[in-house]
Structure 1
Amino acid sequence: MASRRDANMKSLSRPFAAPLDMSVAAPAPFASHADTGAHLDARIAAKLSPPTAGATDISRVAPRDLVCSAQSATLTLVRAPAGFGKTTVMTQCFARFGRLGFDTGWLTLDQGDNDPSRVLHVLNLCLLRMGGERPTSGNMPSIEDVTLAVFDRIAAHATPFVLFVDEFEAIHDQGVIALFQEIVDRLPRHGRIVIGSRSQPHLPLGRLRTQGKLLELDAEQLRFSLAETDRMLNGQTGMALSVEDLDHLQRKTEGWPAALRLASLALENRDATRALIDRFSGSHEAIAEYLIEDVLGSLSEPVQAFLLRCSVLRQFSVPVCSALNPGVDGEHMLQTLEKAGLFVVRVDAHEPAYRFHSLFAEFLRAQLVRRHPDRVPGLHLAASHWYERNGYPVPAIDHALDAEAFVCASTLLQRHAIDFLAQGRLRLLARWFARLPAGCVADHAEVGIVHAWTVCLTRGPGEAMALLGASGWLSASSDTVRAHASACHVALLATLDRVEDAYDEGRCCLAALPNAHPFAHSSLVNLVANVATTMGHRDEARRLLGAAKSLGDPQSVLNRMYSEATEGLLDLQEGHLRLATARFHLAATIAGGHEATGFTDGNAWAGLLYARALYEADRVSEAEPLLNVYVPLARDIGLPDHAIAGYAMLARLAFQRGDIDPAFLLLAQLERLGHDRRLPRVVASAHLERARLLLLQGNAEASRSQLDLAEAAAEPWARIEALRFPAHEVETLTIAKLRWQLHFGDPDAAARALAQARGAAAADGRRWREMKLRVLECLASLRARHERDALAAAAPLIGTLCAEGFVRMLVDEGPLAAQLALRCQADGATRARDPLLEEYLHACIAPFDVEREAPPASVPEDGTALPAESLTRKELRVLQLLAQGYSNGALAEKLFVSDSTVRTHLRNINAKLNVPNRTSAVAAGRRLGLVD
């Protein structure tokens, strides 16, 4: 029996040269370079292209047609263990959809994609390619621009499209998972996504399954049928296996494609077919045995050595393979291996880069450890030196750590760690430091101080403070080390809410320390400026920020971003939302302004502030994707104000959509974060926001209970309210209590207290807080039925809010604020003649189902039952959930019914209660005692 594969196998069995020794030449001297754009481009190109079809791949007609014909499936999940041909099926679906006229995009994920900013960049490139566009050259766009571009491109894609995402099992970051959840939720009717994964992804599968929008393919559907086994073994390879032999092998392997492929390799070189089939098992152990005996055993020693050496590489190209295999024609070897179908896959049809099939790679690495355990470190070290000489420090450090060459890794980190820190590549640094022994870090102060920064910004201040305290770096003889340690210590004090201590220490350090290192010095100036902002020293803060901008290294992404963001905070305190938004956008853009920054997650500081500015302007479609990216980062980094504000905004948006359970879950997560990080202010903030949501549900007792818990959880609130924490400038315990009082207590007393607090805020120059207090004062007057006074005060206030773009300041106060806007819109004295003001009022009213004629009341109306029929048990349940704010979709999910059934219940409730809409139904239910 002869075949093309036989010829290829024979060529691999002939020696290329004398057998190769597995030892590695002495390392070449180090060279210091940065990752180059060309290397990133090649890696990204590989991620954006489906693997090229192998010569031995067979057509998977059944699963392919199942996927391509499922028109109602928004999400298709191809889930099975390794070796079941998930990627092969997806690749064939990709080609079939293309022939059917669909636009198609491909993205292969890896461990490095557990970074929302990185995955957003590659998603954006994928969507550009899918739309036939080319990415523009020049500076990398900011993560904010990329986030908005991704969702805009998905929404604006006018023709049918399918996005394929492979190897989803690599993803565990909650921010990335939330990003894909939102992509699935936002897909247009003509858009689909196909995900391949070894494990169950944490996506909203239950909801999609209930809605009939999920197609699932598992291992059972991916197993080879007997006909497919016949095509593989008899059709492609020219074997003449009998029906009985095929059936026997099919049962032995249970149709597992990987086992059948390996069986075919073994059978091609055996005469005793039946004996081999009798012995063959589809287990992993059997596969390893046959790989040893029938694949590697048939190859020459040089080829075996080549494969084993290259197994240490995740991806490989000719030059790096040649570095690990001196004297071998690497290009010819790789091309021949590829043609032979020996599990060598070209990762991109246009780039000479390769990888091994995952099962084969695992096997080769295990064999390398088994046969030559003493040579594994040398191979990794050789790869590290090649990457370092060629300007790729990231894989160079990775391979040095794989080699357990910790001195080498520390040396590389000494050269590059500060640059990575300045670029904000915190997760990358954290991953490396987790693998370095403590002694290696302690022996290199420059590395150790970056470690302290990384711990501070990824695992929280407590651990970093202990690390810094035990190190002695604060009193080091090196000016550079001492400057970095001092800046880090000030940051830790601020993150621990010890703002006064951070301010005092920071000012002392600025006076005492020389400008030993630009990054450390400008970091310290920025930090002092930020705590001065929190202390209320606005003039000093602006002066320091000006100094930081003049001192800063143009390549220091973090410091330039920090300066602009802090200045934006000052603008926001002064009530200038539009100016603050511009500064936050600039700050966030800075992080993506240089190609050298790669995929950075360091801009969570500015990114979440920009998301908040968008939220305040009710630009929700832009804000929410950014929040889903940045809130998990703020949580991991340990930024208390960013986490508080981020979780609160997400909870409010979920609540407004009627997703009540997710809203309260978000606040439970915030509370847990506060306990874990030992930050009482974060715990108290979760209670404070929970009180707000319960208030909007009309639950006075539960809301008041949460306010009591908020008061008990934190330090004396007088200090929190006196300082200018960004999360508490317009949301304090006092404000929350007054809000509760105007809704459930004495609105006149609330109005008087609000007026007094407003005067104090105005005297202190806290215009943002002053505006919030004025809003609540108007609502108290309206609640107390002083409508004329409320409208007179609201007219100039709404003009100011409109001019600055503060929409959520009203919307977040619920239906009562919408009633105020409605009355301002209708009132003759305050009727808007300006189209912008009219548009602003409409934006404040639109989220709510309010009626012009429905007056707010401070107490429930008297009177007994409305002329209504009795509600059924199910209708009572719907009414109770309606009162809690659940949307129609959430009601359907909670009651396990369809959307149309929910709408029928709502129509019946409205008819029986003789009311026009859901808001009136809830009000009537409360008057009748049907709803708490």
Structure 2
Amino acid sequence: MKGQEKEGEGVPGRPSEQPVLLATKLHVPENPFYLVARERLYESMSQALCCKLTSVIAPAGYGKTTLVGSWLRSAQVRFGWVSLDKGENDRLRFWTYVAEALQSSLPVSDEVVENGRRISPYPFTAERAAAWLIARTGDSGEPIVLVLDDYHVIESEEIHSDLSMWIDGLPAHVHVCVLSRKDIPFPLGAMRAKGSLHELDMSELRFTEEEIVSYWMRRTGKEPDDSLLQDLARSTEGWAAMLQLSVLSRSGSRTGTRRPLSGRHRHVVDYLMEEAFGKLADEVKRFLVCTSILERMNDSLCLAVTDGPDSPAILPELERSGLFLIALDQERCWYRYHHLFADFLQSRLPYDGAPDVSLLHGRAAAWFEAHGYMSEAIHHALEAGAFGQAADWLEAHAANWLRRRETTTLLNWLDRLPEETAGSPLLILLRIWTELMAGLGERAFPRISGLKEALNRWEAADEYGLLTRFREEVQIVDNVCAVWSGDFEHALRLIRQLGERDELPAEHVSVLISHGIELNEGTVPFIRGKFGFKGRIGQAEAYHRSYGYFLEKNGLHEFPFTAFQQVALSEVLYERNELEAAHDAAQQAVRLGWTFGVLGAYVPATICLADVLWADSRKEEATELVEQGIWRLEGRHLHTTRWFDKLTAKWARQQMSLGNAEEARSWSAYWQAKSMNGYGALSDCEPATRSEIGAASDYEWLTYIRTLLALGELEAAGEYTDKLLRASRQSGNLMSELHGLLLGAEIYSMQRQSGESHARLHAALLLGEREGYLRSFLDESPFIVERIVGMNRNAGANEPLYAGVTPDYVRSICSAADVAAVIPKKSAASPGEAFGPDALTPREREVLRLMAQGLTNKAIAAALVVTEGTAKLHLHRIYGKLHASGRVQAIRAAEQLGLLDDSTSS
């Protein structure tokens, strides 16, 4: 059927199954047949291109949608449009529609055409949406307007907060226009004071007398006389919907008759609605009332709901008659009623020969289900009181919404079910999964015991498959809850019980986790998150080896959940420096993660595999692997996900290691802008940290701190390292704490604070020995390895700074590092002899001393009373003589050669 959209459910590895958004929600409603060009308002709307935000606030019927839609067409400006409904209170769904609307307004590249214009089914935040937008629009600078229609339906405080910060950080050529019946529920004072807010309200939207005349003539073909014009102006008060009703009311009156209109708006609307509605044929009345329950409709759906004769083009005919119908697409296939008219029609449901409203909703539910629109099918089933049907559909399709983490929508549906239905074991199970995905573990954990009791009471001997599946689900979700809550002993006991089983249910018994539900919460590496027991790799190894035994025993090699187990194990093995085994597991996880579209496995596995290759001196392969991952995500528009940041952070680390300072600097600028200045646009205002350091972003923060070190910004690096340490200790994340300690040790050393540096390294070694870390020390920096080598050499002296750290552990790190090959011994020669004819000049030594103190190029120039260009020239000469690619390497080389030994006393 023309204009019909099929709602599919998919994963990134299976592009043909990607979810299809409702195109009608992304299409600006068509202009009405009797459009009046309102030039004064078009001129006012043109100010939207000079402001970050334009608000159009007025009650229903004042022509907000028509005004903005017709202005966009006349202005010929690029725009994206989203017609919101209550379903967009789900944060993921809201931002998915926003991203798709913006994407549709931009030029389409050959790559996009080739790969299809798909949006990720995975969670992404306002930060990611904005970063994507800026990346796609930053070059052209061509004005773009995003319109959010019916924003009053959004009640989510998270979305309000997201949108406020997002708008604040938009580049100058991107503008947002919000249409609402209520005031916008986030602060606007700052934008109003800066002149970046444009506001239109009811007083400006009212029709003037001139516009009333123009509209009347278009509708009736003749100009109203003065008396009628005064009557219309007084009775309608410029209200567009009232004016339309006046035409309908008077068009059927006898010549010469004029029924005066008076009273408050509500009374006038009631009167005019009765007048317009009363003139219609009974079958038209019945059609309108029956279909008023629909938020959007086409002829096929209307015929199903009204159970009427098959009569094509009903809706276009009603639109031409002026009955408050709004076309939602250019083909005029999908429509909706004006909100005011729909409210009136619904008030007529008990009359006018309409069937029972629950019957109408039931018919709508059946049509939507048959055509693949499951969200609307469930909504109408709930409205019809068909709770059993709604529950069945929820159970059958839950994996689709869980995979996309549309948890707000799911919880709203579950809350609407009566207790006797919602209390069924399968729906309790669904609620537990939903609450876990929504981060509401404290609600989910207590439900497990009740679920087990329900299972024991459930008698379904004739439904063996369902009962068997349910037992599997309970065992799995119990295990997941144990891991999520940090109950390692219980989690290990449960996974070992799985391994002891001799048989599994048949393949057709499909549990929810087999559908590719995203388990990783956005943490890289995987063992830094909950399923890695927050860096407790001893626990993680025991759990995932037991898990692997269960998978291997039962031949479960080709399932999404296997990808999670393989990547977690690969990271454990890599940290233990078992590189060959880590390589095999990571390679398997990369393949499974991409095949089944679970980015929470694919991205960490790509990073781990790159680490293994790098450690094996296969740097070119490692770099190509990460770049391929970035290309894959971009090709599928998965760069709108939070996972894209992880891969770009890994790429930045590789570039730093290769000495490509500019690439690392570019990534650092992007991350700084995104995290501190409003999601991607550098601001002239004082930076304010908006992206807190936490488990979901600490990998990026660690990378950012490392780039600050490479750029010589020691003070800022130290500040963020301290924040990272506080956050990791507060959350109990041992791996993040370890890396924070190692960074701190290096920063304090570069600041010539040896006592603090030793203390940080000592704390890191104590933590590392307790948990069994190896590669973290080797990968962090040459400085760390050098210090540990020094400890190993002085082991006989029993250095008190490292009390509690066994010599065996220190030797194990040195052995893993193969230190003789990578750490040169400090020369016994004098600094001058070390350089021979290329020895540093006195001025270069002075520059080196200031650089080691953390001064910027500008500060060095000021201290030496030279130009900044001269200071840079000295620095480049120093880098060349020390064979260094930047500040950090130069300082390390100078320390090894003793060039800074006399600088502290200066």
Q: TM-score, normalised by structure 2?
A: 0.65
Whether contact under 8 Å (2:102, 2:133) holds in the other structure is yes
Moved more, 133-142 or 356-365: 133-142
Identify unmatched segments of 5+ residues in structure 1.
Answer: 1-31, 594-602, 630-648, 674-694, 780-792, 801-814, 845-853, 862-932
Aligned-partner residue type, residue 229 of structure 1 = I
Q: How far has the Cα of 1:334 moved from its partner?
A: 1.5
* 1:462-503 alpha-carbon deviations (Å, 9 max, x no partner): 211222222326854733212211221222222223334323
Q: Aligned-pair distance for 1:50? A: 1.6
Is it true that 1:280 corresponds to 2:282 in the alignment?
Answer: no
Equivalent position to 1:462, from 423, 442, 453: 442
* TM alignment of 1:864-903, pairs within 5 A: none
1:609 to 1:158, Cα distance in 2 relative to 1, 3 A:
closer
* Structure 2: distance between partners of 1:708 and 1:117: 30
Question: Which residue identity is paired with 2:60?
Answer: A
Q: Deviations over 1:193-214 (max 9, x none)?
A: 4332333445674443333333
Q: Cα distance, 1:303 vs. partner?
A: 0.8
Residues 552/112 of structure 1: CA separation in 2 closer, same or farther (3 Å cut): farther
The change in CA–CA distance for 1:625 and 1:494 in structure 2 (over 3 A counts) is farther
Distance change >3 Å, CA 282–CA 276, structure 1 → 2: farther
**How many residue pairs end up in the alignment?**
721
For the structure 1 residues 622 and 149, does the alpha-carbon distance in structure 2 shift closer, same or farther, using more than 3 Å as the test?
Answer: farther
Cα displacement string for residues 686-725 of structure 1 (whole angstroms, at most 9, x for unaligned residues): xxxxxxxxx969999xx999999998x78xx7xx64xx5x
Within 1, Cα distance between the matches of 2:518 and 2:293? 45
The separation in 2 between residues aligned to 1:248 and 1:214, in whole angstroms, is 36
In structure 2, the residue matched to 1:406 is 387
Give CA deviations for 1:633-653 in whole Å, capped at 9, x if unaligned. xxxxxxxxxxxxxxxx66999
Q: Is the 8 A contact 2:212 2:233 kept in 1?
A: yes
Matching residue within 375, 391, 395 for 2:376: 395
Question: Which residue number corresponds to residue 663 of structure 1?
Answer: 689
Matches within 5 A, 1:317-396: 317-350=298-331, 352-369=333-350, 375-396=356-377
Aligned position for 2:760: 754
Residue 812 of structure 1 is matched in structure 2 by none
1:879-906 CA-partner distances (Å, limit 9, x unpaired): xxxxxxxxxxxxxxxxxxxxxxxxxxxx
**Aligned pairs (5 A) from 1:512-531:** 512=501, 514-516=503-505, 517-519=509-511, 530-531=531-532
Q: The residue matched to 1:341 in structure 2 has which SS?
A: coil
* 1:225 counterpart residue number: 208
Superposed CA deviations along residues 157-194 of structure 1, whole A, max 9, x for unmatched, are 45444443323333444665566556645655444443
| 1:535 aligns to 2:533 (yes or no) | no
Q: 1:43 to 1:304 in 2, by over 3 A?
A: farther
The residue type equivalent to 2:478 in the other structure is: H
Tell me, in whole angstroms, the C-alpha distance in 2 between the residues paired with 1:117 and 1:627: 24
> Would you say 1:429 and 2:410 are equivalent positions?
yes
Residues 256-289 of structure 1: CA deviation (Å, up to 9, x unaligned): 2222222332233335989633x33451343133
CA distance in 1, matches of 2:410, 2:517: 21
CA distance in structure 1 between the partners assigned to 2:535 and 2:722 by the alignment: 29
Residues 303-350 of structure 1: per-residue CA shift (max 9 Å, x gap)? 111111111221111212111222334423222101111011221012
SS of the equivalent of 1:216 reads: strand
Which whole-Å CA distance do the structure 2 matches of 1:76 and 1:855 have between them?
62
The correspondence of residues 454-533 of structure 1 with structure 2, limited to 5 A, is 454-458=434-438, 460-472=440-452, 476=456, 478-512=467-501, 514-516=503-505, 517-519=509-511, 530-531=531-532
Aligned-partner Cα distance in 2 for 1:760–1:371: 80
Q: Which residue of 2 aligns with 1:90?
A: 68
Amino acid at match of 1:57: L
Q: Post-superposition shift, 1:661?
A: 8.5
* Aligned residue in 2 for 1:867: none
Residue in 2 aligned with 1:315? 296
User: What corresponds to 2:251 in structure 1?
Assistant: 268
Decide whether aligned partners of structure 1 residues 128 and 95 sit closer, same or farther in structure 2, where only a CA change above 3 A counts: same
Find the aligned partners of 1:46 and 1:149 in 2 and give their Cα distance: 23
Shift of 1:96: 1.2
1:186-225 aligned within 5 A: 187-201=170-184, 205-225=188-208
Cα deviation digits, residues 710-757 of structure 1 (max 9, x gap): 98x78xx7xx64xx5xx54534xx78998999899x933322223323
DSSP-derived class of the 1:368 partner: coil
Whole-Å separation in 2 of the counterparts to 1:627 and 1:514: 53
1:751-804 deviation per Cα after TM superposition (whole angstroms, max 9, x unaligned): 22233234456652343366669879999xxxxxxxxxxxxx9xx99x99xxxx
Secondary structure, in 3 states, of the residue corresponding to 1:58? coil
Superposed CA deviations along residues 335-376 of structure 1, whole A, max 9, x for unmatched, are 210111101122101251111112112222232156679701
Structure 1 partner of 2:229: 246
Contact 1:34–1:393 (CA under 8 A) maintained in structure 2 = no
Matched residues in 2 for 1:372 and 1:622: separation?
66
Structure 1 residue 62: deviation in Å? Answer: 0.9
- Root-mean-square deviation (CA, aligned residues, Å) is 5.9
The Cα shift of 1:401 comes to: 0.7
The 8 Å contact of residues 525 and 548 in structure 1, kept in 2 or not, is answered as no
* Superposed displacement of residue 552, structure 1: 6.2
Hey, what does 1:51 align to over in structure 2?
29
* Equivalent-residue separation in structure 1 for 2:671 and 2:344 (angstroms): 41
**SS of residue paired to 1:66:** helix
TM-score (norm 1): 0.63
Matched ranges for 1:124-135 at <5 A: 124-133=99-108, 135=113
Between the aligned partners of 1:627 and 1:397, the Cα distance in structure 2 is 43
Residue number among 100, 105, 108 corresponding to 2:83 in the alignment: 108
Report if the CA contact (8 A) 2:750-2:853 is conserved. no
State the match for 1:633 in structure 2: none
Distance 2:48 2:253 in 1: 43
The answer as to whether partners of 2:80 and 2:146 remain within 8 angstroms in 1 is: yes
Contact 1:94-1:164 at 8 Å conserved across structures: no
- Higher mean displacement: 298-307 or 424-433: 424-433
Taking a change above 3 Å as real, the CA distance of residues 204 and 470 of structure 1, as seen in their structure-2 partners, is same
Q: Is the 8 A contact 1:73 1:212 kept in 2?
A: yes
Residue identity opposite 2:83 in structure 1? T
AA in 2 matched with 1:767: R
Corresponding residue SS for 2:81: strand
Question: Do 1:707 and 1:736's aligned partners in 2 also have CA atoms closer than 8 Å?
Answer: no
SS at match of 1:381: helix
SS in 2 for 1:316: coil
Q: 1:378 is aligned with what amino acid?
A: L
2:645 aligned residue (588, 603, 611): 611
Amino acid at match of 2:206: R
Give the aligned residue type for 2:388. V
**Structure 1 residue 406 displacement after superposition:** 0.9
Determine the C-alpha separation between the residues in 1 that align with 2:414 and 2:548.
Answer: 32
Identity %: 19
**Contact 1:143-1:589 at 8 Å conserved across structures:** no
Residue 77 of structure 1 deviates from its aligned partner by 2.4
Displacement after TM superposition at 1:239 (Å): 5.6
| Partner-residue secondary structure (3-state), 2:423 | helix
Give 5+ residue unaligned stretches, structure 2.
1-5, 459-466, 521-525, 600-636, 653-663, 697-713, 788-813, 823-850, 861-871, 893-899
- In 1, Cα distance between equivalents of 2:18 and 2:405: 17
The residue matched to 2:356 in structure 1 has which SS?
A: helix
Give, as a single letter, the amino acid of the residue that structure 2 aligns with 1:430: L
288 and 563 in structure 1: CA distance in 2 versus 1, 3 angstrom threshold: farther
Alignment of 1:56-75 (within 5 A): 56-68=34-46, 71-75=49-53
